[in-house]
A = this chain, B = another copy of it.
Amino acid sequence: MSITPKVLLRSLSDQTRLRCLMLLIQEGELCVCELTHALDLIQPKISRHLASLRDMQIVNDRRAGQWIYYSINSVLPDWANELLQATLKGSKNEKQFKDDLKKLKGMPNRPNNRICA
């Protein structure tokens, strides 16, 4: 079964999950420590919300050494991708989003997440 509007919208209704997803859409793949740094929240909180997004099949995870990388599920239905893109479009004006992105870019010692190093 594929995701429903009910499930996706419920997930997007929490600010922490929304902020994570916006960064993931924009950046492609991020690990927990990058998201923790960018959002300036405690690690268990980020992990908990990412686990929830994984359970809803909105994101996928991949282990690489001690890091676990999350990314948007690549096989979401069209309407879901369109919904996420519309949300990103709306978020780009938001101070919160800009700040998160800036914080991410400025993170020291970012782990290298390139699959082909």
Q: Interface code A71-104, partner B: CB below 8 Å = 1, 0 otherwise?
A: 0000001111011011101110010000000000
CB nearest to A77 among chain B residues? B90
User: Is A107 part of the binding interface, using a Cβ–Cβ cutoff of 8 Å?
Assistant: no
- CA distance in complex: A78, B86 (Å): 8
Interface residues of chain A: helix, strand, loop or mixed (majority): helix
Q: How far is the CB of A88 from chain B (nearest CB, A)?
A: 8
Q: How far is the CB of A23 from chain B (nearest CB, A)?
A: 14
Which chain B residues lie closer than 8 Å to A111 at the CB level?
Answer: none
User: Is A12 part of the binding interface, using a Cβ–Cβ cutoff of 8 Å?
Assistant: yes
The answer to whether A79 touches B83, judged by C-beta atoms less than 8 angstroms apart, is no
The answer to whether A83 touches B87, judged by C-beta atoms less than 8 angstroms apart, is yes
User: Is A112 part of the binding interface, using a Cβ–Cβ cutoff of 8 Å?
Assistant: no
> Which residue from B9, B78, B87 sits with its C-beta under 8 Å from A89?
B78
Chain A residues engaging chain B, CB cutoff 8 angstroms: 4-6, 8-10, 12-13, 15, 18, 77-80, 82-83, 85-87, 89-91, 94
